[in-house]
Amino acid sequence: MLAMFSPDTRYAAEIALDAPAPAVIRFHLARVRLNQVQVPEHLVRTVMREVGRAYPALSKSGRDLYVEIPRHAEVALIPGGVRLVGPKAKNRRMSNGQRSL
């Protein structure tokens, strides 16, 4: 969809977060804007359905990504992304013979 716009077109996605189950976060694509104009819902739905078919990690609608959060991990929203800090692993030998910290 973005390929048909000039490279200086500004686009933004509004992402909603919720926790549908314990230790699960859902990232939902709520809206898309091009040059501060909201893209019509039917167009977003059609395009994202194709994305969902191509990327099995997403829901069939292409608008949802479910992420399981490990027990005792911390999740934080940061500018431009999400930081996931896992629990400290016990000092154990890894498959390559090294020890984890």
pLDDT of residue 99: 53
- Residue 40: inside a domain: yes
Task: Say how many domains are in the chain.
Answer: 1
pLDDT band per the 50, 70, 90 thresholds, residue 79: confident
Looking at the domain assignment, is residue 88 inside a domain? no
Task: Identify the pLDDT of residue 90.
Answer: 64
Domain extent, residue 26, equals 2-70
How many whole angstroms separate alpha carbon 17 and alpha carbon 69? Answer: 14
**Span 35-54, mean pLDDT?**
94
Residue 19 lies in a domain: yes
Which pLDDT belongs to residue 101? 47
Q: What is the pLDDT of residues 3-25, one digit of tens each?
A: 777 889 998 999 998 989 888 99
Whether residue 62 is contained in a domain is answered as yes
In the predicted structure, residue 80 carries a pLDDT above the cut 70: yes
Does 23 map to a domain?
yes
Contact 67, 27 (CB under 8 A): yes
Amino acid (1-letter code) at residue 74:
E
Is the pTM higher than 0.95? The answer reads no
